């Protein structure tokens, strides 16, 4: 009886030690949870972060411009944000540094319905275009129009926050800023004949569309944790690519609301877009994007490329 009790207490203590967690890392997403974030959610579900002694918490922002502010203020540790938003934040003096990329391709472009008579970008003259993410979207779509020879003054740009697809399908808007791995699929599923103009085809330099940024002090304080985080994330990306069906299941276990056809198709469309090895260290990409934003008046003064990102934590 006594031995039994000893074992019981030992067992309880052992189980308690499993509950004791590792180093906390708060990661703020760039937007509502969506398939772009699959590597993070899958890694949490698989216990990959925990295996490295990391307790990763995923936070959803109230507003897409919050992540960089929260990271700079050290309220959260790692922020996900588009490269363009990050460059704007750096230009405004926020203390941040990019440590890796989640998605190293372009996601964006303009989506229009063929039924509204739009077959090429030139047809957008005199039309209304909706967007949800300032400041990057108005600049991007303005560039696309410019590249096709249309003046921005000929087009009405409306900030519609999140109601883009519904407005497009109902005809209230003629075109919307869209992600090639989400809204395009949404339109297709609604049976609409849509046409997508990818941003890189219209004078916009390539970009890392979701990067990871931190306050520079955090790098010094938690170097190993951040390195392990990036290793786990990189392995998660590789794992997802090898096992899309199982990992989609993991993803929807973590986010049951996203268990539908749209997200399944979006998930598949996103697989080739994740950054191999979470790499973000092509100086040419940073140089070209900074020059582009500076010319468009979005940056007050250019920052030396070496000061924008670090490759020291990459796996």
* Interacting residues with another protein (CB under 8 A): 63-65, 68-69, 72-73, 88-89, 92-94, 128, 130, 133-135, 156-161, 163, 166-167, 170, 172-173, 298
Please report how close the Cβ of residue 224 comes to another protein at its closest, in angstroms: 27
Please report how close the Cβ of residue 203 comes to another protein at its closest, in angstroms: 22
Please report how close the Cβ of residue 100 comes to another protein at its closest, in angstroms: 22
Q: Which is nearer to another protein, 93 or 191 (CB)?
A: 93
DSSP secondary structure string, the chain? Answer: -HHHHHHHHHHHHHHHHHHS--EEEEEE-SSS--GGGHHHHHHHHHTHHHHTTEEEEEE--SSTTHHHHHHHTTSSSEEEE-HHHHHHHHHTT---EEEEEEE-S--EEEEEEGGGT--SGGGGTT-EEEESSTTHHHHHHHHHHHHTT--GGGSEEEE-TT-HHHHHHHTS-SEEEEETTTHHHHHHHTT--EEEEEGGGTT-----SEEEEE-HHHHHHTHHHHHHHHHHHHHHHHHHHH-HHHHHHHHHHH-GGG-SHHHHHHHHHHGGGBPGGG----HHHHHHHHHHHHHTT--SS---GGGTB--TT--
Please report how close the Cβ of residue 154 comes to another protein at its closest, in angstroms: 14
Please report how close the Cβ of residue 164 comes to another protein at its closest, in angstroms: 10
Of residues 232, 236, 273, 238, the one with CA closest to residue 251: 236
Please report how close the Cβ of residue 115 comes to another protein at its closest, in angstroms: 16
Q: Which residue has the tokens 């990871």?
A: 212
Q: Which is nearer to another protein, 216 or 315 (CB)?
A: 216
Q: Which is nearer to another protein, 2 or 297 (CB)?
A: 297
Please report how close the Cβ of residue 216 comes to another protein at its closest, in angstroms: 14
Q: Which is nearer to another protein, 160 or 228 (CB)?
A: 160
Q: Which is nearer to another protein, 127 or 241 (CB)?
A: 127
Q: Which is nearer to another protein, 125 or 311 (CB)?
A: 125
Q: Which is nearer to another protein, 63 or 261 (CB)?
A: 63
């Amino acid at each position: 009886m006594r031995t039994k009790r000893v074992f019981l207490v030992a067992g309880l203590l052992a189980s308690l030690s499993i509950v004791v967690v590792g180093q906390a890392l708060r990661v703020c997403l760039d937007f509502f949870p969506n398939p772009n974030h699959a590597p993070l959610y899958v890694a949490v579900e698989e216990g990959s972060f925990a295996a490295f002694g990391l307790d990763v918490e995923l936070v959803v922002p109230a507003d897409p411009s919050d992540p960089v502010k929260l990271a700079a203020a050290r309220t959260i540790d790692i922020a996900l944000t588009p490269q363009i938003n990050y460059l704007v934040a750096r230009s405004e003096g926020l203390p941040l540094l990019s440590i890796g990329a989640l998605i190293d391709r372009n996601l964006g472009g303009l989506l229009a319905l063929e039924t509204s008579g739009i077959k090429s970008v030139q047809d957008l003259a005199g039309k209304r275009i909706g967007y949800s993410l300032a400041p990057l979207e108005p600049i991007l779509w303005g560039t696309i129009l410019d590249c096709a020879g249309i003046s921005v003054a000929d087009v009405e740009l409306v900030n519609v926050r999140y109601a883009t697809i519904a407005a497009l399908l109902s005809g209230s808007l003629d075109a919307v800023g869209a992600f090639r791995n989400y809204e395009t699929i949404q339109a297709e599923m609604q049976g609409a004949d849509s046409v997508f103009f990818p941003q890189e085809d219209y004078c916009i330099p390539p970009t890392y569309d979701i990067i990871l940024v931190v306050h520079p002090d955090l790098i010094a304080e938690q170097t190993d944790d951040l390195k392990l985080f990036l290793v786990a994330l990189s392995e998660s990306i590789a794992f997802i690519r090898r096992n899309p069906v199982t990992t989609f299941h993991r993803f929807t276990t973590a986010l049951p609301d996203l268990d539908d056809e749209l997200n399944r198709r979006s998930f598949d469309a996103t697989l080739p877009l994740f950054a191999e090895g979470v790499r973000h260290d092509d100086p040419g990409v940073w140089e070209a994007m900074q020059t582009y934003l500076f010319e468009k008046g979005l940056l007050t003064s250019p920052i030396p490329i070496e000061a924008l990102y670090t490759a020291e934590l990459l796996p």
